[in-house]
A and B are shown apart, each in its own frame.
Chain A
Amino acid sequence: MVEQAAALLVEGVGAQTQEGARAELLSESEFQELYRLNARPLWAYLYRLTGNTADADDLLQEAYCRLLATRLATREDGELRAYLFRIATNAATDLWRRGGRGSRRTEPLTSESAITTDHGDGVALKRDMSRTFRDLKPQERMLLWLAHVEGSEHREIAEALGLKAASVPVLLFRARRKLAALLRKKGYGPGER
C-alpha cells in the first residue's frame, strides 16, 4: 500500500513539472474547503461505483492524497471538482485492474434499507436501484454518473475515463440503452418510477 502510494506520488511529481512555475500545492485551508464542498458527492459517486463503503472510503482518501501531491495551476472550484472526479475515477479503475480487493463483497445495503423503510411503496424500488446500477459494467456506471449526475461534458468524461471524446456519446447511448433494458427486465416501466 505504501509502495503504491509512493508510486502514485511519483506520477504526481511528474505532473508537477508540466504545470509550470505558477502551479502550487493546495494549502491546508484550501484543502479543507475543497473537502467540505466535494467529499460527500465524491463519496456518493464512489459508493455507487464500488457498492461498498470501505472501498468508497479508501478511494476517497486516495483521490485527495493524489490531488494534494499535485501542483495545481488553478483554484477554480469547477475545474478542481472535475479534476478530483477524474483522479477518483482513475483510482477506481486502478482498483478494478489490481483485482485484489475487487473480491470485497458488495454490502447488503442494510443501512440504505433502514433509511428507506418508512417511505412506503417506494422501499423495494429504492433498495433495488443500487443493485440495478451495479448490474452495469464499471465503465458504464462511470459514464452514466458523470454525464447525468455530475453533468460533466463529454470532453471531461473522455479525460476521466481515458477515452476519445468522440467515443463518449456512442458509449453513453449504449449504456443508457442497456440501463433501459435492465429497467424493463426488472419491470420498472416509466409508470412505476
Chain B
Amino acid sequence: MVPLSYYLVLSGILFACGVTGFLIKRNIIAIFMSIELMLNGVNLSFVAFAAHWHALAGQVFVFFVMVVAAAEAAVGLAIIISVYRTRETLNVDQVNLLKL
C-alpha cells in the first residue's frame, strides 16, 4: 500500500505548480488551468486522507469541490470568451481598465 505521505507530497507538488503557474502565466486560460490544478491538488489530499482515516467526509468534500469547480469553469470560460470578444486579447496585463 502506498503510504499517505506520497499522496500528500504529490498533492503539495500539484498545488505548488498551480500557484507558480498562477503567478507567472499571462495567458488567462493558463491562469485558469493553474487554478484548476490547485483545486485538484487539494482534492488529492482530501481523498488521500479519506482513505487513510476511512472517513467518507473527505470524499464528499471532493464532490463538492468538483461541482463548484465545474460551475466556476462554466462562468469563467464564459467571461473569458466575452473578454476576448471585446478586447481581442487573452493577456491579463492588458485587461486592466479598472486599475487606477
> Do chains A and B interact in one complex?
no
